[in-house]
């Protein structure tokens, strides 16, 4: 009897070990090619939900309904299937949300697979859409940009321009914004950072982890989304497909002029094979 129990225990241990050595390879088929992705184990509710929807065929023939160059491409709205050209999209879902699983070790570098959600005014718990997700394209950033509190910089600029002794600065910034646009205005604020810190007696710096700093200054991403949305996976092959989709013309609602369909395929294969095929190194288990 004791030997049978021992054998059963060893068998269960072996089965558990084999299961842990496999993972889901996510293939996102698009009109411009395939992207391969993995989903994170430490966002289990998002992983389980995504796999189930994909296996059930939920994502088949849905559209990338929101595309913004240098930012992200978004899909997963079931209302986009066979949607008319003028149909407003972005509100559909499976009828439920998923509790937020926001982790410090996951951030919005290029290729991040993240859950869309409603904003904080109606969704203070930052719950994720049950089906809609976006893939980050973003852009590269300088170290100075990443170590500056951009929101505080903008607020300080407004306070500076409200001072009577800064009328010339106010006029200069107003002219830049009106004649050259928001991007040039933001660049000028960065150039004036030291001046604003001195005049307004504020500290406009912020800290960022070395991992995030390296990623955002090399492959790029969307750092302003960090710690606000659940990142539950990443594209490990096919980053160029994101770029191709992001290049497509869009209408005023950011919907591509030409429908861009996608579907999702899920396959459970050995982790070693995923590493061999796509170069993704799994985090070491403690």
How far apart are alpha carbons 258 and 64 in whole angstroms?
A: 10
pTM (predicted TM-score): 0.89
DSSP string, 27-87: EEEETTEEEEEEE-TTSHHHHHHHHHHHHTTTTTTEE--EEETTTEEEE--GGGTT--TT-
Pick the CATH number of 23-141+209-278 from 2.40.10.10, 3.40.470.10, 2.40.100.10, 2.102.10.10: 2.40.100.10
Query: What is the per-residue pLDDT for 284?
Result: 83
Instruction: Provide the residue-wise pLDDT of the chain in tens; the chain has 286 residues.
Output: 455 555 555 554 544 444 469 999 999 999 999 999 999 999 999 999 999 999 999 999 999 999 999 999 999 999 999 999 889 999 999 999 999 999 999 999 999 999 999 999 999 999 999 999 999 999 999 999 999 999 999 999 999 999 999 999 999 999 999 999 999 999 999 999 999 999 999 999 999 999 999 999 999 999 999 999 999 999 999 999 999 999 999 999 999 999 999 999 999 999 999 999 999 999 886 5
What are 132's two structure tokens? 């809609």
What are 170's two structure tokens? 């106010």
Burial-class residue 132 by CB neighbours within 10 Å (0-12, 13-18, 19+). Answer: buried
**CA-CA-CA-CA dihedral for 261, 266, 267, 268, to nearest 10:** 160
Q: What is the number of residues in the chain?
A: 286
User: Domain limits of the chain?
Assistant: 23-141+209-278, 148-200
Query: What is the per-residue pLDDT for 154?
Result: 96
pLDDT digits (tens, 9 = 90+) for 151-191: 999 999 999 999 999 999 999 999 999 999 999 999 999 99
């Amino acid at each position: 009897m004791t030997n049978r129990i021992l054998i059963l225990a060893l068998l269960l241990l072996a089965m558990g070990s084999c299961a842990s050595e496999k993972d889901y390879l996510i293939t996102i088929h698009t009109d411009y090619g395939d992207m391969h992705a993995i989903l994170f184990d430490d966002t289990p509710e998002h992983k389980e939900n995504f796999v189930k929807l994909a296996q059930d065929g939920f994502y088949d023939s849905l559209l990338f309904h929101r595309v913004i160059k240098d930012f992200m491409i978004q899909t997963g709205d079931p209302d986009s299937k066979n949607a008319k050209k003028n149909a407003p999209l972005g509100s559909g879902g499976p009828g439920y949300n998923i509790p937020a699983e926001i982790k410090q070790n996951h951030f919005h570098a290029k290729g991040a697979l993240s859950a869309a959600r409603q904003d904080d005014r109606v969704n203070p718990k930052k719950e994720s859409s049950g089906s809609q997700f976006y893939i980050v394209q973003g852009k590269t950033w300088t170290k100075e940009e990443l170590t500056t509190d951009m929101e505080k910089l903008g607020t300080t600029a407004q306070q500076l321009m409200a001072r009577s002794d800064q009328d010339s600065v106010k006029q200069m910034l107003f002219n830049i914004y009106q004649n050259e646009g928001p991007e040039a205005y933001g660049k000028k604020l960065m150039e004036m950072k030291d001046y604003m810190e001195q005049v307004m007696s504020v500290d406009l710096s912020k800290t960022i982890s070395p991992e995030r700093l390296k990623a955002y200054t090399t492959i790029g991403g969307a750092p302003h989304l960090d710690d606000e949305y659940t990142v539950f996976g990443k594209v490990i092959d096919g980053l160029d497909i994101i770029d191709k989709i992001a290049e497509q013309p869009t209408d005023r609602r950011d919907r591509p002029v030409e429908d861009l369909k996608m579907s999702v395929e899920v396959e459970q294969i050995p982790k070693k094979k995923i590493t061999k095929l796509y170069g993704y190194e799994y985090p070491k288990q403690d």
